[in-house]
Chains A and B, each alone.
Chain A
Amino acid sequence: MIKFDNVNKRYPGGHEALSGVSFHLKQGEMAFLTGHSGAGKSSLLKLIACIERASRGNVVIDGQNLTRLKNRHIPALRLKIGVVFQSHNLLYDRTVFDNVALPLIIAGYHQSEVGRRVRAALDKVGLLGKERLMPITLSGGEQQRVGIARAVVNRPPLLLADEPTGNLDPALSREIMGLFEQFNQVGVSVLIATHDHDLISRLDHRLLTLTQGKLERDGRTTELQIQK
């Protein structure tokens, strides 16, 4: 699903955010990406969503090589990737329903199909019944769940999350991680960037650790507990 082959990312000005990163996330696999801030987690996610382009090496998503992807094909790629942001990135002038429906409307789904899928997605994150509310009236955890519903509503094969529990208390964070695991169990590939070691050490998934732009370790989250 995600294949990095000796990828370098150098920003204008010479700062090298990623150097020689290679890994392969198979279809249906779930992995965490960790590292100190500035280690290159965000850069790596941006390369996957084609927000940035690799300076060297190949990034292949679902069989598509992004190095050669034309700009006009980027929207189609992004529809295949559900992205959850730390800052939710909801549209605050629209209802919860309209926020979640956005990817379906972009993809050109029929009205009745939109309603059905939006309610299914909201049901999954436990927000059914709040679809007519404005996002600003919801709590932080609820807003994050709206963001997750939006990311999964058109059933993308790949789910990315950038610090999805960054602003949430431990109980809510566990709940959110549980949601991601549920999606993974139905076959969605999931990659989550986080620095919350406490949280992920209780789970058993693949763990990629970045240090200063290099992939330092490719192991399991359970190893974090042993380190302690």
Chain B
Amino acid sequence: MKRTSVKNTDTEDRQRLSKPRGRVNAYFTHHLWVLISSLGALWRTPLATLMTAAVIGIALALPTGLHVLLQNVQQLSTGWEGTAQMSLFLKSDIPEKRIQALADKLRSWDGVAEVQYISREQALAEFREQSGFGGALDSLDENPLPAVLVLRPTAEATEPAQMEMLLGKVQKLEPVDLAQLDMEWVRRLSGIIEVGKRGVLLLGGLLALAILLVVGNTIRLTILSRSQEIIVTKLIGATNAFIRRPFLYTGFWYGLMGAVLAWLLVAILLGLLSDPVSRLSFLYSSGFSLDGLDLETVIILLGSGIALGLLGSWLAVGRHLQAIEPT
């Protein structure tokens, strides 16, 4: 209510008082001038400005950085979800021929992309090669490993519910001793990521509140230190909108600087992490590398920085400007 009435007066006054020539032009020139001069005022106190911007930057960098890391983990795990597979361990007395027939039958099912047969001998050879327990195996009379059919679902059938259904179906097949889904942990991981995302959101909310308080308090101190100037301009006939303007732009600059600083911080952190991550993923023979900030995240980061700066100064100005009146 108060806000609209102030705005009305502002335009009314201007209409009544100023000559029509170039009025709109003068209005924008004035805004531009306030925008630049409020930046200039911040520039003249570089240390204080940098400290406020740094507080905002760190507060923004924390949720942003976590968000980017989560995005990376999620991307990594989606890659794995695509390779979800099912292992069918067969009973040991099933003849080779029946296994081949079973494999053919499975291949014809809906939702099955590929069936790979690993015979008992192959499994043994593989185990001998990879585990280093070759000698121990030699001492056994019999090959203890079962034959395995590895079943890969089609891309459309990787949904957990569909996988569950397929699992139930193959479990009922007579030669199958045990069927196991190899993606249980991937699903748990994505559950953990969901929790993490919610956590980042909550953390972001809290830190946004902190930024509002920081900007609000900084603007409050600026208002108090310039109360004499505010009184003089009010005496000369400045509207509340006119007096409010430089403080709002100051808030805008704080928010923008904080967001840019946060962007830099996150980029530096990701840069520092990227080398060890590539080395780690090389050890896992994966081509994974850390993704940086994407455009969407940067836009949201800058946007929320500016919005928080403006809102914080708006709150401070609304609260303190009314109190300063000439006497």
Residues on A lying within 8 angstroms of B by beta carbon are 49, 51, 72-73, 75-81, 83, 89-91, 93, 102-103, 105-111, 113, 150
Give Cα A111 to B22, complex, Å.
Answer: 9
Given A79-B13, A83-B235, A110-B25, output 10 extra A-B contacts at Cβ < 8 Å: A51-B326, A75-B9, A75-B240, A76-B9, A76-B13, A91-B229, A102-B236, A103-B237, A108-B23, A109-B18
Tell me if B237 and A108 are in contact (CB < 8 A).
no
Residues of B within 8 A of A108 (CB): 14, 17-18, 23, 26-27, 30
Tell me if A113 and B236 are in contact (CB < 8 A).
no
Interface of B, secondary structure class, is helix
Residues of A within 8 A of B8 (CB): 72
Q: Tell which of A76, A89, A93 touches B235, judged by Cβ atoms closer than 8 Å.
A: A89
Q: Is B6 an interface residue (CB 8 A)?
A: yes
Number of A-B residue pairs, CB cutoff 8 Å, is 84
Number of contacting residues on B, CB 8 A? 33
Residues on B lying within 8 angstroms of A by beta carbon are 5-6, 8-9, 12-14, 16-19, 21-23, 25-27, 29-30, 229, 232-240, 242, 325-327
Give Cα A80 to B236, complex, Å.
Answer: 9
Give Cα A108 to B237, complex, Å.
Answer: 12
Tell me if B19 and A109 are in contact (CB < 8 A).
yes
A75 with B238: in contact, given A108-B23, A110-B23 (CB under 8 Å)?
Answer: yes
A79 with B237: in contact, given A72-B6, A72-B8, A109-B18 (CB under 8 Å)?
Answer: yes
Residues of A within 8 A of B14 (CB): 107-108
Give Cα A107 to B239, complex, Å.
Answer: 9
Residues of B within 8 A of A73 (CB): 9
Tell me if B18 and A107 are in contact (CB < 8 A).
yes
Give Cα A49 to B325, complex, Å.
Answer: 13
Tell me if A91 and B236 are in contact (CB < 8 A).
no
Residues of A within 8 A of B25 (CB): 110
Q: Tell which of A76, A89, A90 touches B237, judged by Cβ atoms closer than 8 Å.
A: A76
Q: How far is the CB of A54 from chain B (nearest CB, A)?
A: 16
